Amino acid sequence: MAHSLDLADPLAHARGRFRLPDGIVYADGNSLGALPAAAPAHLAHVVESEWGQGLIRSWNDAGWIDAPAQLGARIAPLIGAHADEVIVADSVSVNLFKLLAAGLTPRRRTIVTLAGDFPTDSYIAQGLANLLGNVTLREIPLADIVTALDDQTAILLLTHVHYQSGARHDMAALTAPAHAAGALTLWDLSHSAGAIAVDLNAANADLAVGCGYKFLNGGPGAPAWLFVARRHQKRLENPLSGWMGHARPFAFEPGYTPAPGMARWLAGTMPILALAALNAGLATFDGLAPAAIEAKAAALTTHFIDRVAHIPGITLATPRDPAARGAHVALAHDHAQPLTQALIAHRVIPDFRTPNLIRFGFAPLTSRFADVETAAATLAHLIETQAWTNPAYHQSRKVT
């Protein structure tokens, strides 16, 4: 069954764009994307030729200075943005700070967000509120989000696909009431970009951020990106007004003038080696349609849910409707942490999220239906044999 699904998979060839270890089922593309096969040679070229030979000249000759905008333009089609609406910079956390600060107005000082979204989003909003003193952060349950929007609300901040459950919001359906209340929307697309088809402009979204190291395959700690809709680009200003966001960085003027367009969202010098790895990650999407990527994510996760939902002790924590989820599936189990370690010891790599979730991220470019079958069968076996009773699987880990 899995074999015939893999044979019929129109994205099957994309796996060849990566280097994955033999005999491993990699189900953590939602935390760290796999290594693009072209990345080592590309990085070696940037190091040895551009840096080693070109030296400082490479800022111009190798186009280093334009890399954040060029990579932003490569991300744009994956998220329904225009090329000039996206730039690569900093981390998601820092980009959230910049956009939240920019979106506040003298009259609107409230940030509304969903209680239980990825913690950095609320940590950053709280830190900004503490810094400014007159900003309120409201963390609201999903059912009350729309009614929480009022004439004080500056920004509705939401993670599009939830990092734990994988549940996906209807972007257009939440953007409309935010706009009706006079607020902007800021979407965290860390678990969406490269995994499902996102259409920011069709949803009339205002602002967005996302990770480079997950489904975009940019490597550990890859730079993140941010989106500002064209209609807001003149008005919104980066509070981290560093020289790389200046209209004329090499004029070394005494006062700050923001660059026109997305360049103003840069602060300091861009990490060229990390951008080179992200470039290789984004190249893995060449010629692949976001709709096809989403269809594969839906098929993989549906196949997995069908195989695991009935296993005794497992509770599905992810929506059954593929349109209401991303590319990962979360399963609740009383012994999720040692079970995750047992899976890894058996060469199936998901991750654990406190308190009781095992997340299986099936990156559509690298995952095969055969991997899904192996992951499900291994999980069933480990539960059947009560693998969590083995003390070897109770080691504490800094990174889970």
Ligand X SMILES: Nc1c(O)cccc1C(=O)C[C@H](N)C(=O)O
Ligand Y SMILES: Cc1ncc(COP(=O)(O)O)c(C=O)c1O
Give the residue numbers annotated as catalytic, written as ranges.
118, 188, 213-214, 359
| Residue 43: its H or E element | helix 39-45
* Interface residues toward ligand Y, by CB under 6 A: 91-93, 118, 120-121, 159, 163, 188, 190-191, 211, 224
Build a one-symbol-per-residue string for 211-230: x at contacts with ligand X by CB under 6 A, - elsewhere.
--------------------
How far, in Å, CA of 96 to CA of 125, rounded?
8
Does residue number 110 form part of the binding site for ligand X (CB under 6 A)? Answer: no
Query: Which of 128/224 has CB closer to ligand Y?
Result: 224
| The 328-332 sheet, strands edge to edge | 315-316, 328-332, 357-361, 351-353
Instruction: Establish if 163 lies at the interface with ligand X (CB under 6 A).
Output: yes
CB of 399 to ligand X, least distance (A): 5
Binding mask 25-54 for ligand X (x = CB under 6 A): ------x-----------------------
- Closest distance to ligand Y from the beta carbon of 177 (Å): 22
Alpha carbons 242 and 246: distance in angstroms, whole number:
7
Residue 399's binding partner out of ligand X, ligand Y, none, with CB under 5 to 8 Å set by partner kind: ligand X
Figure out which of the listed residues 1, 7, 251, 399 binds ligand X, where binding follows CB under 6 A: 399
Which residues are CB-neighbours of 132 under 8 A, at least 6 positions away? 101, 104
CB-CB contact of 225 with 75 (8 Å): yes
SS3 annotation, 211-272: CCCCCCCCCCCCCCEEEECHHHCCCCCCCCCCHHHECCHHHCCCCCCECCHHHHHCCCCCCH
The nearer residue to ligand Y, 120 or 153, going by C-beta atoms, is 120
For ligand Y, the closer of residues 9 and 117 by Cβ is: 117
ω into 355 cis (within 30 of 0): yes
Smallest distance from ligand X to CB 114, Å: 15
Q: Min. distance of Cβ 163 from ligand X in angstroms?
A: 4
